[in-house]
Amino acid sequence: DTKVLVLSYLIPHMATTIDAFSLVKLYIGSEGKSKSHLKKAMGMSYNPLLGMYNGYYVLDLSKHTDRQCLHKLFEQSIQINNHRKNIGKWDISQNGNWSCFRNVFVDGKPVHTLLLDDYSPIPKAGKLEFDFVDYSRPNHEIEKPLNDYKFILILISSAIYGLNNDKQQIQQLLYNKLNTL
C-alpha cells in the first residue's frame, strides 16, 4: 500500500509526535488493516514516534526501525528528566541515574543501566531488552482510555472472565458496573 509506505517514511521526519499522530489520524483514521500494515512497516519505532512511550521493548539493533526507536526513547528520557530536574522533582529512576529505562538486558545479559554515552552513535548490531517508563501524564489525544465495553471484551477474550461473548451477559456486566458507581 503506497499510503503506508509514504507514512512510514514521513513519520520519523515529523517535527513532533503530535504532528505524526495527526498525520496518521488524517490519512489512516481507524482503518484497522492500514494501521496494522503501518505498525508492521515501522516496527518497534511506531509507538515512540507517535508519542506512546511506555512499554516493554525488544530491539534488534541491526534493524533501522529499532535504532530509530532507541534514538526516540533516549530523546524522550533526556527531555523528561531534564524537565523534572528543572522543576525540582526527585529522581525516580530505577538506578538513580535520571533515566526512564528499567530492567535492561544487552545481548541477554542484565546491565545496571542504559546510557546514551554507550550508544552514541547507536551500534548496528546487538539486542536490547528493557522497560521504558514515561513519568509524564499521557496526551489524551493520543492515549485514549478503553471504554467499559472494550475492556470487558478484553477480559473475555483473554479468558480472565468466563463468558462466551454473549451480548446479554456483557450488557448485564456493564449495567452492574454502572449501578455500583
Inter-CA distances, 93 with 51, 113, 114, 137, 166, Å: 20, 10, 12, 16, 44
Place of cell 514516534: 49
Which among 139, 144, 146, 137 has a CA at the least distance from the CA of 18?
A: 139
Omega of the bond leading into 121 within 30 degrees of 0 (cis):
yes
Residues of the chain under the 70 pLDDT cut: 137-146, 152, 156-181
Distance, in Å, from the CA atom of 8 to the CA atom of 77, rounded to the nearest integer, reads 23
Instruction: Report the pLDDT value the prediction gives residue 138, as an integer from 0 to 100.
Output: 63
This prediction's pTM: 0.73
